[in-house]
A and B are shown apart, each in its own frame.
Chain A
Amino acid sequence: MMNAIEFRKVTKRFGGFTANRDLSFSVKKGSIHGLIGENGAGKSTAMKVLFGIHPADSGEILIENRPVRIANPVHAMRLGIGMVHQHFMLAGPETVLDNIILGHEPGRMFVGRARAEAELTAIAKTYGLDFDRWDRPVSELSVGEQQRVEILKLLYQKSQVLILDEPTAVLTPQEVKDLFGNLVKLKEEGKTIILISHKLKEVLGYCDEITVIRRGETVGSRSASETDESELARMMVGREVSFTYQGDRKVFANAGDMKPVMRVERLSIASSTEPLRDVSFDLKPGEILGVAGVQGNGQSTLLRALSHPARHGRSWSGEYLLNGRSHSDSDPIALRNAGVGLVPEDRLTEGLLLNQDMTENFLLGQHEDPRYSKNGFLLRAKARAVTESKIKEFDIRPPHPTVWTGRMSGGNQQKLVIARALDPGPSVLYVAHPTRGVDVGAIEKIHDAIIQERNRGKAILLFSSELDELIDLCDRMLVFYNGMVRAQFTRSEFDPWAIGRVMGGGDR
């Protein structure tokens, strides 16, 4: 069989940092090839080299056994390489059709929408991609549908090699199954697919061959039928690892009888994009309650409501109690004083001041704490000393409180956000996506911290789009669908398929 793509000793440096070193592997034409490695291992860089975003410093890339020098993405596209980025390249207010044909419009002066639509309908039919709502704005589509639009875009551009970067991160198990079903059809029609992932199960289940990258170098390639999860994990990390939490998981003997510290009763939030409908639950000390669901089904609204009720005004109805006191119109400062710690959904947009140093970021939300301010003025020296101690405690790098948070890695940023949330000694923690965009080393540390807080008797509400993470860490789980709690699971009932079914709107 011919190789669609071959890397020969490809090296890519950024300044003094080598992202890819002598990377070599080959991808057979008409196969699904998995490219796995930890965050920061260099798999995305390798694909960006292939897609012409960052040209290689040395080494050779062969396409269908012919050496090529790929200068830019346009060139890559002309060579038949297309990429679905992790963050979709789709403009929400524009129509599906315009998003797909952008840059490759059939007309000369005008767009030529009728012609493009006919062509697209034919493509969708050939590859069995069930889609026909070309004139809808992309923002009205589900995440899974948007991904299908991205794939259609590549097919419309006549790509022969499709690169998918972490395609399953935002999908339900059912949607994942659909996606792979589609990918297999594409493969049968002769397309080559490269899948970047860190999820070993998926890669093993659907790929023909798998290449593992660690620290910018190829560890090796394996045929999927001749390897297993533990071998791949060992190759990825360089040591034995377990992907489920192994630490001390003390069970609170009488957790069931303890009084809840936090309770939500019939909470509804009116919102045009993501409403919340009649949600009730409670949270006890020493438990981790997971919030699962496909993105956009009310989880974000719930977190926003719980962390800043005052912002909602008239769109709020229902009751929100902390230690028996109503907090339905509290602001974040009042909640903090009532013992709430917050790790927001997106640390970059909601958690950090990226052009400020760690001390300034440590002060965010704590600026009115009597430990850090007096008579309207900040006690910066004190804040800085505490920040320094947190840097040690959480192993934050680089270990200097004067480093701008915008220059830190995702994992270290997240550790700082968590350290800040824990600093006042909260009794309730709202933690959202704690390990999103975080490398494996930091993931272990963060999971450790969360479990330890639970073991100390904290009540933790954990939001995550990674079902595996929730299954690993939680004692109970709420599954959201369409703004409501559609089902509740306790730890003994955790089953990814059942939970996935509910996430997709089905029954248990």
Chain B
Amino acid sequence: MLETIFSNWILPTLRVSTPLIFAALGGMWCERSGVIQIGLEGIMLVGAFFAAVVTHSTQNPWWGLVAGMMAGLVLSLGYGLTVLKWRANQIVSGTAFNLFAMGIPPFLSMIWFDSTGSTPVIPGESLFRSAPLLLMGSVVVASAILYHHSKFGLRIRFAGEHPKALESSGVSVRGKRWQGIALSGILAGLGGATLSIYLASSFSRNMSSGRGFIALAAVILGRWMPLQTVTACLLFGFTELVQIRLQGVVLWGDRAVPVQWIQILPYLITILVLALAMGRTRAPKGLGGDE
């Protein structure tokens, strides 16, 4: 009994939540440093693409993970350049990066595979079994410890909450924000990678399908705190699992529930949960503001 619950529900929930958790923790670090990170979606997409490409060509998923992280990092550093150096509006620039990122996979897949936005299927023996789960677990633990007990965590929190206080203590706010942005790129890139080479076996067009925004909702719901954010991700991951399981199931009468109603479930739940969480959340005071 317990074992079937574990293998049928708990483990799959953890699996499905993995991309969300990576991306959400990245988003949390970035927003804690005071920078809004709307671009998680695009970073995940690009991370997923490069992970699939590199795994396909090396037949080694570890290189795929590294590629996903690197692609995410590069994209996030570009974002950092526009918002930290060129003072672009963070939401506007994040949106631009999302659009930009939507164009990259089809552009490159045309050159490399003569397809508009998908990559060749990677054989099963070159894919991960459970390593990403362990990696996810350690990133969660590390994030929680760093957040509460490290100098890095303390300073990044002040960069978002009261940047002037941090600056007047002799620590560069901009430096912390660069670090937060870089972390969001690495982690969301990693999240994207698990999407294509852990949950699937290739990259398919627009495969992030809103997960970057759901991860952002999880950050808000988790009040910008690591463990609460992870909990919110698990809730959204579970909704996605239910969505997958419900397809083709007959709930009442003799007809299966239309697949369209089931597919919108994760998005609906995200909106509902966000609306119900009102008043319980409080963003870092300096979020989106100047240094």
Task: Give the interface of A toward B (CB within 8 A).
Answer: 73-74, 77, 83, 85, 89-94, 98-99, 102-105, 107-111
Contacts and interface: CB of A to CB of B under 8 A. Distances in A.
B161 A110 contact: no
22 contacts: A73-B170, A83-B168, A89-B165, A90-B162, A91-B157, A91-B165, A92-B161, A94-B158, A94-B161, A98-B154, A99-B165, A102-B154, A102-B165, A102-B166, A103-B166, A103-B170, A104-B169, A104-B170, A105-B151, A108-B151, A109-B151, A111-B151
B170 A91 contact: no
A103 to B, nearest CB: 3
At the interface, is chain B mostly helix, strand, loop or mixed? helix
Nearest to B160: A91
A107 B153 CA distance: 13
B164 A110 contact: no
B129 interface: no
B150 interface: yes
Contact of A111 (B149, B166, B282): B149
Given A74-B170, A90-B165, A93-B161, 12 more contacts: A73-B168, A85-B168, A89-B164, A89-B165, A89-B168, A91-B165, A94-B161, A103-B169, A104-B169, A105-B151, A105-B154, A110-B149
A77 B169 CA distance: 8
Nearest to A157: B169
A90 B282 CA distance: 17
- Among all A-B residue pairs, the 10 with the closest Cβ atoms: A103-B169, A74-B170, A89-B165, A91-B162, A91-B161, A102-B169, A103-B171, A105-B151, A103-B170, A110-B149
Interface string B186-230: 000000000000000000000000000000000000000000000
B164 A102 contact: no
A111 B150 contact: yes
A137 to B, nearest CB: 11
B167 interface: yes
A93 B170 CA distance: 21
Contacts of A102: 154-155, 158, 165-166, 169, 171
Contacts of B150: 109-111
From B149, B158, B162, B171, residue with most partner A Cβ within 10 Å? B162
Interface residues of B, number: 19
Nearest to B164: A89
A2 B171 CA distance: 32
B87 interface: no
Nearest to A106: B151
Interface string B136-162: 000000000000011100110110011
**Residues of A contacting B: mostly:** loop
B170 A111 contact: no
Given A74-B170, A110-B149, A103 B161 contact: no
A141 to B, nearest CB: 15
A83 B162 CA distance: 16
Contacts of A77: 170
A73 B161 contact: no
Contacts of A103: 155, 166, 169-171
A274 to B, nearest CB: 17
Contacts of A89: 162, 164-165, 168
Contacts of A91: 157-158, 161-162, 165, 285
Contacts of B161: 91-94
Nearest to A112: B151
A94 B167 CA distance: 16
B154 A111 contact: yes
B4 to A, nearest CB: 42
B290 to A, nearest CB: 14
Contacts of B169: 102-104
B151 A94 contact: no
Interface in B273-291: 282, 285
A94 B154 CA distance: 9
A85 B162 CA distance: 14
B167 A73 contact: yes
B2 to A, nearest CB: 38
B216 to A, nearest CB: 21
B87 to A, nearest CB: 16
Contacts of B164: 89
Nearest to B157: A94
A77 B171 CA distance: 12
Contacts of B170: 73-74, 77, 103-104
A446 B246 CA distance: 69
A110 B158 contact: no
Contacts of B154: 98, 102, 105, 111
A377 B171 CA distance: 51
A491 B261 CA distance: 72
B173 to A, nearest CB: 11
Contacts of A83: 168
Contacts of A93: 161, 282
B32 to A, nearest CB: 12
Contacts of B285: 91-92
Contacts of B167: 73
Contacts of A105: 151, 154
Contacts of A94: 157-158, 161
B151 to A, nearest CB: 5
Specify which of A74, A91, A110 lies most central, judged by the most chain B CB atoms within 10 Å of its CB: A91
Nearest to B161: A91
B168 A110 contact: no
Contact of A107 (B151, B155, B166, B171): B151
A406 to B, nearest CB: 14
Nearest to A87: B164
A107 B155 CA distance: 13
Contacts of B151: 105, 107-111
A85 B165 CA distance: 10
A493 to B, nearest CB: 42
A90 B154 CA distance: 13
